[in-house]
Amino acid sequence: MAKTVNVGLVGYKFMGKAHSQAFRTAAKFFDLPAEPVMKAVCGRDEAGVREFASRWGWESYETSWEKLVTRSDIDLVDIGAPGHIHRDIAVAAAKAGKHVYCEKPLAMNLAEAREMLTAVRAAGVKHMVNFNYRKCPAVSLAKQLIKEGQIGEIRHVRCTYLQDWLVDPMFPMNWRLRAETAGSGAHGDLGAHSVDLAHFLAGAITEVVGDKKTFITERPAEGTSSGLTAVAGEGTEQVTVDDHTMFLARFANGATGTFEATRLAPGRKNFNRIEVNGSKGSLAWCFEDLNVLEFFSTADPGSAQGFRKIIATEGSHPYVGNWWPPGHMLGYDHGFSHAVVDLMTAIGNDAAASPCFLAGARCVAVLEAVEKSADTGRWQSVEKVE
Ligand code: SOE
C-alpha cells in the first residue's frame, strides 16, 4: 500500500484551485508511491476558505498559516499565495519539519530565495517549486530530444511570454500590480516561467542586459479581486511594477538568448513560447497549442526537410500513457497534476524533487540580474547559487 502525505495548502484562489485539482486527480490516474491526502486549506477569510474546503474536498480549514504549518497532522505545506509571503511560510514550514512545495517565482529577491533554500536543506525536507510548463508532455519531450543530441549544440534560445489581460487601463489594481506583494510585474509573473524553461532546456544563464517599462502607471483602486479578475473600488492607485520587460542573455554553454514578457499584448492570451536552435535542428513550443512540439532536423532528407508537428499525446510521450487514448488532448491543469505526480514520487521514494528550490533560486537570480541591468543600462552577471 502506498504511504500517504497529508497536505496543507495556503491560498485558495487561482493557484489554490489549480493545486487542489492536481491533488485530487494525480493518484487517480497514476500509481504513486505516496498519495496526497487533502488535509487542510488555509485562507484569511473564514467564510471563503470554509466554502472552498467543502467544495474541493479539503478535510478542514485554517485562517492562520502559522497554525497550519505547525499542525502535527500536516506532512507537506503547499504555498499558493502571493510572493511576499512565500519566504516566511516556507522557512516556518521547513523548521516544523514539513516538506515544502511553492508557487513561482520562488521569492521576492535572491536573498529570500537563498534563505528558503538554506531552511529546506537544513531541515532535510523535500522541496519543489511549481514550474508547471516544464511538465507539459511536449516540453518534456523537447528535453528528451535535446538530451539525445537531436538538435546538436544549442546556439539560440528565443522566449516570449505574452498575455493581454491588463491591456485595459480601467482594469483595477490587484496584488500582481504591486511591487510589495508581487516583487515585479510581467517579469516575475511570466518571465520566471521563460527563464525556467530556458534553464531546463538549454542550461544556465550567466549574463543579462535588459530593460523594463510601465505603460499604465495608474489604475482604478482595488475593490475585490480573485484570480485574474478584479472589481474596482473608490479612487486610483499607482502601479509599481513593470508592464513589459525584455532582455538578452548569454548562457554558460555559449548559447545566446532573447526574452520578452508582457501582459499588454492584445490577442495574446497565454502565448508562452520557446524556440531553441541548435547546430543540427530546432525545437519550438507554444502553450497556445500546448500538445504540439515543432521539430526541424537537418538529418532529414533535403527535399523533405521542414518543421514537423509532433502531437505529444502518444502513450510513449512523457506522462501521457496514464491519461486518455492517443490524440485526446491534455490541457493547462495536467501540468499541475504532473508536478504533483513528480513531488509525490520524490517523497515516496525518498529522492530529490525537481525542479527544487535550487532551480527556483537560480531563476530568481536571473530575474534580479535583469532588474539590476535595467537600472544601470549595463550587462550584469547572474549571481551563482549552489
Ligand atoms: C497570470 O499572468 C498567470 O496566471 C501567471 O501568474 C501564471 O504563472 C501563468 O502560468 C499564467 O498567467
Domains in the chain (CATH in brackets) are: 3-131 (3.40.50.720), 137-289+291-330+363-376 (3.30.360.10)
Under the banding of pLDDT at 50, 70 and 90, the label for residue 384 is very high
Burial 119-129 (b: 16+ CB within 10 A, else e): bbeebebbbbb
In percent, the amount of the chain with pLDDT more than 90 equals 98
Best residue for ligand 1 mutational test, from 163, 184, 334 (most atoms within 8 Å of Cβ):
163
pLDDT at residue 17 tops 90: yes
pLDDT at site 274: 99
6, amino acid identity: N
Residue 189 CB–ligand 1 contact under 6 Å: yes
Residue 163 CB–ligand 1 contact under 6 Å: yes
Residue with cell 516556507: 90
The three-state secondary structure class of 42 is strand
Q: What is the C-alpha to C-alpha distance for residues 135 and 11, in angstroms, rounded to an integer?
A: 22
Under the banding of pLDDT at 50, 70 and 90, the label for residue 104 is very high
Residue 243 CB–ligand 1 contact under 6 Å: no
pLDDT at site 230: 87
C-alpha cell at 160: 516570449
Q: How far is the CA of 83 from the centre of ligand 1 (A)?
A: 13
Q: Whose CA is nearest to atom 6 of ligand 1?
A: 189
In sequence order, the β-bridge partners of residue 150 are none
Residue 223 near residue 231, CB atoms below 8 Å: yes
Q: How far is the CA of 15 from the centre of ligand 1 (A)?
A: 9
Average pLDDT, the chain: 97
Average pLDDT over residues 354-370: 98
CA angle 138, 140, 142 (to 5 degrees): 70
Helix (H) or strand (E) holding 333: helix 332-349
In percent, the amount of the chain with pLDDT more than 70 equals 100
Q: What is the CA radius of gyration of the chain?
A: 21
Q: Could you count the other beta carbons within 10 Å of the beta carbon of residue 338?
A: 25
In sequence order, the β-bridge partners of residue 260 are 160, 246
pLDDT at site 178: 97
Q: How far is the CA of 4 from the centre of ligand 1 (A)?
A: 30
pLDDT at site 2: 77
Q: What is the C-alpha to C-alpha distance for residues 156 and 164, in angstroms, rounded to an integer?
A: 27
pLDDT in tens, 228-265: 888 999 999 999 999 999 999 999 999 999 999 999 99
Helix (H) or strand (E) holding 4: strand 3-10
pLDDT at site 226: 81
Q: How many Cα atoms occupy the beta-carbon half-sphere of 205 within 13 Å?
A: 36
pLDDT at site 225: 82
**ω into 105 cis (within 30 of 0):** yes
Q: How far is the CA of 107 from the centre of ligand 1 (A)?
A: 16
Q: What is the C-alpha to C-alpha distance for residues 252 and 119, in angstroms, rounded to an integer?
A: 28
C-alpha cell at 111: 536573498
pLDDT at site 375: 97
Q: Please state which of the ranges 225-239, 299-313, 372-386 shows the lowest mean pLDDT.
A: 225-239
Under the banding of pLDDT at 50, 70 and 90, the label for residue 157 is very high
pLDDT in tens, 312-344: 999 999 999 999 999 999 999 999 999 999 999
Q: Whose CA is nearest to atom 4 of ligand 1?
A: 228
Q: Whose CA is nearest to atom 3 of ligand 1?
A: 189
Residue 196 CB–ligand 1 contact under 6 Å: no
Number of the ligand 1 atom closest to the C-alpha atom of 227 = 4
pLDDT at residue 42 tops 90: yes
Q: Give 380's contacts (C-beta < 8 A, 6+ positions apart).
A: 207, 208, 209, 369, 370, 372, 373
